[in-house]
């Protein structure tokens, strides 16, 4: 019987499934499907010791491409470009007001909430570095194309509700919630969510309302809103609030 190669259990345990890759393209709409913070050697970091994260993008055909971002003040402009090209874009001015730094995105609790499922257009070019065994994706963020209407388009959605409107009803998947919330009434929770979102356009308003509904459903776990206590509404506000 011929001698076989040893099976490397550690390598296999840490190996990710291989998805089809997004081909070279000048423009494709993708979403941030995953954020990878570490490998089996530990958290990602640059040669100079700055934290890094890998954004994994997924297109409508479940094809992937990824890019590594260095979370330093010097290299933060790359992350800023991705944030500015989100559809709808991140509120970069508010990030500055809140003192957000690139290094804050090394925290999975923070970065997952701000980046996952955000959509944008990108160009993808596969490049092989000199001396490398495989190609890597050069993913460039693109500002969304202007929206143009067509004869077959549905009527526009109703205008976003004013701040005095009641919060939307719960409908959607459960949302993760954080512990130790500030006790709030229902109205106070809704006011906090309104203040945290820049909902001056219909897509952002829809995302905000969906976040509220998912948070209510996730916190309530099936119980009616009438039985919520102030701690429950505090959890809803934490889960549904997005600073930018």
Cα distance between residue 194 and residue 199, in whole Å: 8
Q: Please answer whether residues 119 and 86 qualify as being in contact, where contact means their C-beta atoms are separated by less than 8 angstroms.
A: yes
Dump pLDDT digits (tens) for 187-214: 999 988 887 776 666 767 887 888 888 8
Enclosing domain of residue 78: 19-142
Q: Do 64 and 127 reside in the same domain of the chain?
A: yes
pLDDT at residue 154, as a whole number:
36
Residues in the chain: 244
Q: How far is CA 149 from the centre of its chain?
A: 28
Domain membership flag for residue 14: no
Dump pLDDT digits (tens) for 102-160: 999 999 988 998 899 889 999 999 998 777 778 889 999 999 887 543 333 333 343 34
pTM of the predicted model as reported, rounded to 2 decimal places: 0.61
Q: What percent of the chain has pLDDT over 90?
A: 40
Q: Please answer whether residues 217 and 174 qualify as being in contact, where contact means their C-beta atoms are separated by less than 8 angstroms.
A: yes
Average pLDDT over residues 10-24: 72
Nearest CA to 69 out of 80, 54, 81 is that of 54
Cα distance between residue 125 and residue 137, in whole Å: 6
The contacts of residue 53 (CB under 8 Å, 6+ apart) are 35, 36, 37, 44, 68, 69, 71, 105, 106, 111
Domain membership flag for residue 10: no
**Given 82, 109, 142, which residue is the final one in a domain?**
142
Averaged pLDDT score across all residues of the chain? 80
Q: Please answer whether residues 236 and 209 qualify as being in contact, where contact means their C-beta atoms are separated by less than 8 angstroms.
A: no
Residue labelled with tokens 């209407």: 149
Give strand pairing partners of 69.
53
Q: Please answer whether residues 142 and 57 qualify as being in contact, where contact means their C-beta atoms are separated by less than 8 angstroms.
A: no
Strands (DSSP E) found in the chain: 25-36, 38-39, 42-43, 52-59, 64-70, 119-128, 135-142
Q: Is the pLDDT of residue 161 over 50?
A: no
The contacts of residue 29 (CB under 8 Å, 6+ apart) are 59, 60, 119, 120, 121
Q: Do 39 and 92 reside in the same domain of the chain?
A: yes
Return the C-alpha torsion angle 74, 93, 99, 240, nearest 10: -120
Lowest-confidence range among 3-7, 55-59, 75-79, 186-190? 3-7
Output the six-digit token pair for 229: 């206590």
Q: Is the pLDDT of residue 78 over 90?
A: yes
pLDDT at residue 90, as a whole number:
86
Q: Do 61 and 165 reside in the same domain of the chain?
A: no
The total number of structural domains that make up the chain: 2
**Given 112, 142, 172, which residue is the final one in a domain?**
142
Q: Please answer whether residues 208 and 193 qualify as being in contact, where contact means their C-beta atoms are separated by less than 8 angstroms.
A: yes
Q: Is the pLDDT of residue 225 over 50?
A: yes
Domain membership flag for residue 200: yes
């Amino acid at each position: 019987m011929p001698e076989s190669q040893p099976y490397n259990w550690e390598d296999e345990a840490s190996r990710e499934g291989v998805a089809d890759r997004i081909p070279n393209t000048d423009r494709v709409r993708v979403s941030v499907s995953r954020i990878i913070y570490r490998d089996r050697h530990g958290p990602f970091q640059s040669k100079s010791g700055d934290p890094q994260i890998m954004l994994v993008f997924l297109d409508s055909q479940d094809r992937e491409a990824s890019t590594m971002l260095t979370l330093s003040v010097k290299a933060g402009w790359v992350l800023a470009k991705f944030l500015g090209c989100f559809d709808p874009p991140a509120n970069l001015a508010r990030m500055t007001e809140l003192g957000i730094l690139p290094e804050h995105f090394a925290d999975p609790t923070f970065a997952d909430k701000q980046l996952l499922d955000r959509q944008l257009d990108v160009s993808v070019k596969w490049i092989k570095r000199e001396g490398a065994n495989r190609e890597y994706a050069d993913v460039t963020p693109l500002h969304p194309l202007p929206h143009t209407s067509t004869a077959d388009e549905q009527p526009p959605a109703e205008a976003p509700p004013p701040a005095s409107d009641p919060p939307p009803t719960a409908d959607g998947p459960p949302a993760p919630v954080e512990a130790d919330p500030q006790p709030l009434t229902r109205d106070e929770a809704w006011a906090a969510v309104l203040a945290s979102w820049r909902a001056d356009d219909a897509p952002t308003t829809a995302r905000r309302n969906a976040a509220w509904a998912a948070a209510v459903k996730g916190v309530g776990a099936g119980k009616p809103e009438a039985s919520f206590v102030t701690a429950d509404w505090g959890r809803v506000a934490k889960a549904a609030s997005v600073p930018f």
